[in-house]
Structure 1
Amino acid sequence: LSADGICVSLFLCPKNYVDVATLGVLATLTGGDTTHYMSFEGGRDGDRLRGDVQNALGRTFAYDALLRIRTSNHLKPQEYFGNFCMRNATDMELAGCDALRAFACSLRHDGKLVDRDASFQAALLYTTGDGQRRIRLHNLVTPVTTEVAQVFKMADLDAIVNVTMKAAISRSVTVPLKEVRESLNAQCVRVLVSYRKHCAASASPGQLILPESCKLYPIYCLAMLKRRAFRTGNMSSDVRVASMRFLKSMAVEESVAFLYPRMVQLTQMDPQQLRMQGVTNVPKGIRMPTRLRLSYERMRPDAAYFVENGVSLFLWLGAQLPATWLQDVLGVGSLEDVDLTMRRLPVRATPL
């Protein structure tokens, strides 16, 4: 199918096991997505399915695409991550590619870097929706250094997390999941040990030293281990494989939010200020409250919190939440009256 320019995206709505590992290969090799709705129920998951299909059909799309990554001398692409088909060692074939698709590539040295800069180019040859054949180029030039401290200083943590996750998913195809989990922990330790050895050797042995650019790397690694893709225990293989396929094509910004969701306190939003701004039903231009760390200790019983990871949205209501807030937002007078099965918030004629 990939050779014929046919891209397949799967929306699986089963009640029971359907072997996502086998079915998903069709989407993986043609550049598509695999979306799995566990124990599908129309009343519960219908809106999500409708929205996912609409989003998939509404994105900017490239057809019959070919992606190649070029590097300067003494650097060479080693491994590619994402949903694509490779018939040779250099070209990623994509029957289809939309605006949210993301790929990763690891590099290796095949000689000494003698130049001051290293150059990279990602070239995508594709056909637009109106039949035009185009090439999109992304060029990048980065300085070369022999100082480990400079490497840590300029490190992009979000990109590191994304590539780490995709590499672990690719490795899980050939090694047991237990080894993949252990390798994630070992890689995190190696990064921190390397920094201490080369950049903070004079520090006290009992002092915890973390590089400024990667100080959150352990938290992200822990978050990976809690994702369904890497979680052990009694879990359906369909759920685990679907999660792996989903994460494998995720962009950098999306993966960071998915691993460490965003949380804000909704009761910090001042209704009087919203009235002064003339806000009606569409909250455009509203300044959201400051994001909070994901810790139960930071959640007050008299407040409401909004947590989202780009895929799921959660509304957490404290046991002592004021009745006036519940009435303004949900139209009920107490927590006991809140419908826990509702999938949409009611539209209220109030600023909140």
Structure 2
Amino acid sequence: MQQKTVNAVIVNAAHDVRCESREIEWNAQQVLVKVERGGICGSDIHYFQHGRAGMSVLKAPMILGHEFVGIIEQVPENSDLKVGQRVAINPSQPCQLCALCQEGKQNLCRSMRFMGSAQFFPHVNGGFAQYVAVNPVQCVPYSDGADAKVMAFAEPLAVCIHAVRQAGDLTGKRVLVTGAGPIGCLVIAAALASGATEVVATDISERCRQLAINMGVSAALDPRDEQQIERWAENGGSFDVCFEASGAGAAVASLVAFTRPGGIIVQLGMGAAEVNYPIGPLLVKEIQLRGSFRFTSEFTTAVRWLEQGKINPLPLLSAEMPMQDAALALELAADKERAAKVQLVF
């Protein structure tokens, strides 16, 4: 077992995030990666603001971060990976033994150890550190010519590609995306890249609506504009597929009216604990409601799409800040009127 002292972004409790020294250790079967940069996610913000993310509650200090890229510093013997390779790190660590994993549904593994998560105790440290030790299978190499600030979007893009695949073939389809934060905007890009003919977005934030336009939508509307929105419910609904990326209760409930008979709703936004849902219209229109959670093989797909320039996520990059300013970066990332995606530089 080898050890190294590194600086890392540690969340100790709500509103207590510091850049501190920590000992990391790794064994001969692991890869040591020098982290270049990482994107702040909604779950990082929740740990910072509330000391928890959903049902995952902090019980001890934890290194944040699961959207990050770096350069390989050390590899196991006889590995296909090479020192100096640039890699995106898949933060998923499924058990690979349970029935769900055996069925290829590793994202649903009940024993998933996801980096930067307090779901289990001891917590699983994340990648917001100068160095991190990971398993070789978590490393997806990419070319030196690709920009690290682009490649750091691999994890959230993988979430969105998985959601698009949950909807099936989008070729020629008319699509609605509710919620134009980073996830909603990457869903927009993934849907367009997957053949959608038209994508429309809604968000209560004017800034987010502009981001959606920058990502390629044909229209971005305020859902409080009832006169415009009600038109989507005419003649049974206007959209073949709807992606709900906000988690807002009103948005979740509204999509049944906007979806055409026989259409599909994909729910990937979290937030609303309870929703007054229109079950009757869902049934009589034979709408399929599908959940979407994390990703499986889509992580590698996301790396390739970004590497090849199939999607440009940079309109979403609002700021780049040094790891020493992690608390300020988290505050900025939490303010949706000022920022979309904030990246830490290590």
Bigger relative contact order, structure 1 or 2 (CA pairs below 8 A, ≥6 apart): 2
| Larger Rg over CA atoms | 1
Give 1 or 2: higher helix fraction.
1
Is TM > 0.5 for Structure 1 vs Structure 2? no
Q: TM-score, normalised by structure 2?
A: 0.24
Q: TM-score, normalised by structure 1?
A: 0.23
